[in-house]
Amino acid sequence: MSEDLSNDLVVLLGEDGFFALVEAHAGVRLYVPADPARSDLSSTIGNDAASRLAKSYPGGYIRVPLAREFRARRYVRDEMSNRDIARRLGLTESGVERLLKRARKSKPLGPRRKKDPRQIDMFDHPPD
């Protein structure tokens, strides 16, 4: 799917609005009514985002991107396992690993898991 459309939609809707859109409609052709109150789009992505989308694409169709890398980054940030990410994206676990490997090359991902506060830090102690 067009990288340009994904970028345009992220700018238009914000990351949260774009995430809501692709979670609900990824991979389909979506009709964008000129009046967002005449569809369930507002309940899916919020009133403000639906209004901005309707102003940019009134009465037209958009092909909602799959945005797998974008969604995978969000899932990693939410500390989902590769198994759960694979189920959400319709990929194999190996496919998720390859996707995340490519994603790391373009932009580093955050740490996979938060540090357990009960774990001692063995190497970052200042000298006595």
Find, among 20, 22, 23, the residue nearest to 47 by Cα: 20
What is the model's pTM? Answer: 0.77
Q: Nearest 5°: phi and psi at 76?
A: -60, -45
**β-bridge mates for residue 62, sequence order:** 30
Could you tell me the residue ranges of all domains in the chain? 3-63, 68-106
Helix (H) or strand (E) run with residue 71 in it = helix 68-77
- pLDDT 10s digits, 22-71: 999 999 999 999 998 888 999 999 999 999 999 999 999 999 999 999 99
- pLDDT 10s digits, 75-95: 999 999 999 999 999 999 999
Helix (H) or strand (E) run with residue 61 in it = strand 60-63
